[in-house]
Each structure stands twice: as C-alpha cells, then as structure tokens.
Structure 1
Amino acid sequence: MDLLVAKFGGTSVGNGERIKKAAESIAKEYKKGNQIVVVVSAVNKTTDDLIKLTEDAITHHLTEKQHAEIVGMGERISVRLFSATLESLGVKSIFIDPYSDLWPIITDSNYMDAKIDFDKTKEKTSKLKSLLDDGFVPVICGFLGKYKNQITTLGRGGSDITAFLIGECLNATEVIIVTDVDGVLSTDPRKISDAKLLESITVDEMRTLATHGAQVLHPNALDYKYPNIIAKIINYNKGDLTAKGTYITGPKDYKPIDLYENPVASITIVGKSLLNKVGIVSALSNILLENGINLFKMNPHHNSITVFIDSKDANKAYKLYHDHVIKNDSLSSISRDKDTAMFSITAPEITEVSLANMLSENNINAVLINYTKTEILLFVEWEFKYEVSKLLNNYNN
C-alpha cells in the first residue's frame, strides 16, 4: 500500500468535467488500496476574480487579515466540491479547511506571505494518519495556512508548498503535481514545436527553470521538496495518477553554501573597447576549451576581461593567453591576481543586501560577486575562505 499526495492546480479543476475526471483518478487509486491525501487549488481564475472584486470594492482600506480571508475563499470552495465529488463515486472523503480542528498547516501571523512553523505543522499533520487508516481521503486547501484561528496565505506557489510539506510530514511514497502540461519539456513548445518531454529533472534544474519563467512549478515550493520524496508532474488530461510525466529528483547532498575545494586563479586580459569588438570573448573562451581547461566565470568589462579557472591550470592558461595577446592588435597585456576562494550560494536567506553587509561588517572585500535569480557566485581572496565560510554558514543556520 502506498501513501500518495496528489495536488490539483486551478486549471486541473477548472470546471465540473475536470473536477469529476480528477476525482475519478483518485477513486482509481483508492480502490487499489492506496491511501491518498488530496490538495486542491482554487478553481481556475477564481482567486484573480476575488482579488479584482476586492480591489474594486474596497481599494486601500482592505486589511491584510481581510485580504487573506477573501482570497482564501477559492480554495475553501474547491475542497467542498472535490470532496463531494469523491463521495458521489463511492469514496469516503472529508474536506479540511483552516477552520477545521484537523487543519495541519500552521504559520506565523504574516497574513499574506506566512512562514510555516514546521514542528507544529508536522505534529498536526500526523493526526491525518488516523483518517487515512480509517479509509478516508482528506481533501485539503492548498495555499492557505492558519495562525491561531485566523487564515493566512503561503504566497506564490502556496498549493505546491502544501503538497510537498504534507508529503514530508506523512512520509508519503509520492507527491504528484497534476497540472495542464505533460511535465517538464526541453523548452517552451509554443516556441519550438519539437520540444521533448523530460523523464526527470533535478530540484536545482527545476528551480532555475521556474525562476526564469517556466510556469510548471513555482520555485518557492521546491524549498519543501525533501530528498526522500518522490515527486512527479503530470497532465490532468490523462485522468490517471500513474500517467507518464516528469520526475523531480533530489536534492541529494544539497549544499546551500558550497565552497570549491581548490584555489581559483583569476587572469585579466587588457585591451581597448573590448566589448565593441566581435570575437574577443569567444576567442578567449575557445582557447580554454581547446586545451581542456574548465572556465568557471568570465567577467567582461569595456577595457578588460577577467577569467576565473582552477589554479592548477593557471600557468598553462597564462602562457596560452600571453601568446594570444601578443598576436592580437586589440589586446595589450595580461596579469594574474591573487588566488581566490569561490562560493556558490543558493540559500534563500542570504540576499544581495545581507551578503554585502556581512562582508562589509567584517572588513572583507569581495573580488567578484555575481548575482542571478537562483544563485550568488562569490569570489574572495583565498586567505579569507574559512572566515567567510563560517560567516555564511552561521547566517544560514
């Protein structure tokens, strides 16, 4: 017997026909003897409609407490519809919203972007096990939380967060995200028609895709995808929880703060108006590629380009670059700076501002900080590696 958590997005329950198809997919697994918890989003566009109505009626007089109560109505309606549909199919079911004594997701008092109290949530979620053992299928509102007796919301990606969190707390066999696509594709099929369905994707890859526009899964939800959870994204059109889709794997040995083990050398190539000249950057990159040297980072400026590579390759690269410079009229000279330590930072608690403040307060100068939506790449002088590592890990903990 498996314990499944199935989350249905707003499109997946977008009308009566889809709600029935979704409920039938649950009934099919239920009749196999599996235990199932259902997490449901608001019916497609309901939340947007509620927000629009609220803004038109109340404007700036709306409190966050009132806002959370109103936007949460969509999920509260969905669980009642879904649970009733399951019962019509002969499945014992119970709907659970934040006003139920069985409600599991406990948060702080931030009504519109609440932080989860994991210990209290785990304790409350464990009480669902007796329902499952008695043959019930609990249907739970996604997106919502509870502080004392008040509704809170989990922010963007909230329903996916709910599913992964319940999966972890119940030690579920699998979390299934049911949405309006077949899974994760190699690219947007609206742009390239022969996009390929991926059989699996890592958490880090999925987070990067989601952060840069892929709408299959919100990146916030992946913070709650624990290593022991099997997760899958499938299309509601299949009407089958065992349908082929994309598995999300990991995180395995995930390190939110990762220090590269070797010193990293930086070599700077100097010239005039380099960014205005075609082929300069690609030529420098190709020199490393052709000689089996891994490039960690290239930092181009108007009159210089700095490359970061493993220090064991620095002497070889320095000679190759010097040979290239003296043959190229656009380049004038090269130099090598002190070795650096390279940190990859994916801890959400460490932001651009907090990192800058941390280094400044400890009188540490960064050689380079490269920010993206999903990662901070930090280079500091090698002699500061242990001090910076300690500061970053203390901050993350």
Structure 2
Amino acid sequence: MRVVVKFGGSSLRYDFYDAVQFVKMLEDENEVAVVVSALKGVTDKLELLYKTGDKKILGDILLDYINFAKKHGISIDAIKLLAEELSSALSLNFPNDKVKRDFLLSFGELFSASIFAQAIDGVLIEPWDIIVTDGNFGNAEVDITKTRNLFACVRDLMEDGKVPVIPGFIGGFRGFRTTLGRGGSDYTAVVAGICIKAKAVLIMSDVEGIYTADPKVVREAKPIPFVSYDEALIASKFGMRAIQWKAVKLASENEVPLLFGKTKGWWMGTLVSKESSGMPIIAYRLRDTHGIVGVVNAYPRVPYERISEGENWVAFKVPKDETEKAVREIHREIMEKYLPFTKVISVIGT
C-alpha cells in the first residue's frame, strides 16, 4: 500500500524521534513518501530575514538547525551546502521582491527535509523540479496534470524500496521557486498523494486530529472521528488550523482520504472523507478590525452579528479582542446538544 505522511513543524521540533520511528514502522509493509514542514517558528524568522536582511537573524536560523541536527545525531554536512546557499542568497539579484521572498522562505522546509532524509536513510527530493505551479509567488497553485507526469521519479524510488522525502510548501515556476501559502506543506502532501496514487495521506501534528474547536483555545473541545470534505473545507476557510483549505479542496476533488493523527504516541484521531460524524466545528480568523467565528453543523443562538450563512454553516462578526472568548461561549452553547454523543465515542474508543 502506498501512503504519504506529512509532519508539521511542531512534530519535527518536539517529536522528531517519534516521527522517524513512525516512518520506519510504516515502510516495513508499505511504500511511503514523506513531506515535512519547517521547524516551528523558522518560517517567521525567514520572513523577517527577507524584510530586514539582518545577518543576526540568519545566524539564529542556521544555529537552530545545526543544534537540531546535532541533538538527533545527524551530521551537519546534511545542511552545510544549504546554509551556504541561504547565506549567499541575501546578496543575489532577483527579478522582483516576490521571487526573492519565495526563494528565502523555501529554506526552512529544505533544511528539515535534508535532516529527515538522513535520519531515515531516505532520498531528498527537490520540489521545484517536480511540482509545477503558476506564477502567483507567495500563494501558488499547483498544475496537477504536469506535476503528475514529473512524479514518475518519485514513484520509481518507492518501487525500489526507497523513501522519498519532499520538502513541503515549495513548487517551481519557470526555473524559480514558488511557495504555496501558509500551511502549504498540507497542499504538497495531497499533491504527492494524488501523484503516487496513495491510499491515504496522513497529516501528523501535535494534536490527535480535528476537534470541535481549537483545543488550545477551548479546553473542552472534543475530537471528531469523521469529518466530510465539505465540512473540513468550510472550517479551514474560517481559519481551522488543522489543514490548509487548498489541500482539502484538492483532496475532495480527487477523493483522497486524509487521516489526522498525533506524532507523539502515533494516535490517529480523524478521517476526512465523504463520511461525517455530523459534529459541529467552530473556527475563527482575525481581520484588521474584528474577528469572524464560523460554525459548521450548528446554528447557535448567541449575541453576535450574523454576517453570512450557508446550508450547514453560519458566520458571526465579533469584537477582535474578544474573539477567543466568543469561540468558547459559542462552543459551550452548542456542545450541550452533542455531549451524549461524544461520551459514546469516548467509551467506544477506550
């Protein structure tokens, strides 16, 4: 069976050993491709490096990865050439600032993939050679038809028993590197899943799956075992952090199952497919002047302005500095109806 496993930045930084062992376990009986994000916090530093050109920030990024590699027994030779390339990039001439930004931001995933590939004795893939995008630098769209053909080299590696390690978030357009938007490693993982005809794409992070609300905001949030593509797409557009909305859309169009799990302990919690548990999902995003809270599968009666709604969702406008408070209030209001159901799930899963 072919599968794609994607690890987020928190998983790599804090649960690297579990991630490595998980891949080694899977490859015993499966053909596996891996997609990795930058270490948590690195992309923000690269963004700042692009804006300022501050070599102290550059040094912090390089030291972060050097220390990370040493901590896990990986030779720094794995990232030495990349470090030199990033250092020299600050003085290179680019056609425009957008091209330069995407080039610099690509290094977080490249460092991560180089280290991970060495840890599992895998093969590092240069994504701009196989993932073809449009020229929308910073938020590029993948040309799945052209990309599928170029993925032949990845399929060949897997058939030979090797594990390709693909840096997420990065594509290519006419010889330049592009980035796929924040959360773009999810997009890369789904693209890879389609192109290798994977049975499933595993999205591994620091939580067990998709919850009724962000568990970091709502302590009482409940895990949801089955979420439909449509529900996940709506929730992700409202700011659900579990997966990028472009990734869900592409998975839905190609009927690629998405399995969400926690890297530490290998706990799998949510399957995104055509099936649904019918449980509510509350997500939010911040605007310049206010917050927007979106609710899927429920229509709560709350004292906030209702600004839009659809067949199975509704959106509220809330004061920006009270957004998280509003999320907790809305969650408390609607979850009373679903509490018996979630208790049954807990008993079955015990």
TM-score exceeds 0.5: yes
Distance 1:63 1:175, change over 3 A: same
User: Residue 188 of structure 1: which of 214, 239, 244 is its match?
Assistant: 214
How far apart are the structure 2 equivalents of 1:181 and 1:126? Answer: 33
C-alpha deviation, 1:191, in angstroms: 5.0
Q: Distance in 2 between matches of 1:371 and 1:195?
A: 19
The CA distance in 2 between the partners of 1:371 and 1:193, in whole Å, is 22
1:283 counterpart residue number: none
Contact 2:20/2:119 (<8 A) preserved: yes
- For residues 143-172 of structure 1, the C-alpha deviation after alignment (integer angstroms, 9 at most, x for no partner) is 100123211111122111111111112110
1:184 deviates by 1.1
Kept after mapping to 2: 8 A contact 1:157/1:220:
no
Would you say how many aligned residue pairs link Structure 1 and Structure 2? 245
1:76-98 CA distances to partner (integer Å, 9 max, x unpaired)? 111100000112xxxxx101123
RMSD: 2.9
The equivalent of 1:229 in structure 2 is 256
1:34 counterpart residue number:
30
Cα distance, 1:209 vs. partner? Answer: 2.0
Q: Choose from 104, 107, 120 the match for 2:133.
A: 107
Partner of 2:174: 148
Matching residue of 2:158: 132
Identical pairs, percent: 29
Q: 2: distance between equivalents of 1:50 and 1:146?
A: 19
After TM superposition, the structure 1 = structure 2 runs for residues 75-224 of structure 1, keeping only pairs within 5 Å, are 75-87=109-121, 93-98=122-127, 103-224=129-250
Confirm or deny: 8 A CA contact 2:227 2:275 kept in the other structure.
no
Q: Which amino acid aligns with 1:98?
A: P
- Where do 4+ consecutive residues of structure 1 move more than 3 Å? 188-194, 370-373
Query: What TM-score results when the alignment is normalised by the length of structure 1?
Result: 0.57
Where 2:268 maps in the other structure, the secondary structure is coil
1:372 positional shift: 9.2
Contact 2:31-2:158 at 8 Å conserved across structures: yes
Unaligned runs of 5+ in 1: 88-92, 253-295, 297-342, 347-369, 374-397
Residues 1:66 and 2:92 are matched in the alignment: no
2 CA distance for matches of 1:169 and 1:39? 13
Query: C-alpha displacement at 1:142, in angstroms?
Result: 0.5
Matches within 5 A, 1:362-381: none
Q: Which sections of structure 2, spanning at least 5 residues, go unmatched? A: 55-89, 277-298, 300-309, 318-350
Q: Alignment partner of 2:127: what SS?
A: coil
Find the aligned partners of 1:7 and 1:13 in 2 and give their Cα distance.
10
1:282-332 deviations in Å (ceiling 9; x for gaps): xxxxxxxxxxxxxx9xxxxxxxxxxxxxxxxxxxxxxxxxxxxxxxxxxxx
SS at 2:111 equivalent: helix
Aligned to 1:9: 8
Q: Which has the higher contact order (CA 8 A, sep 6+)?
A: 2
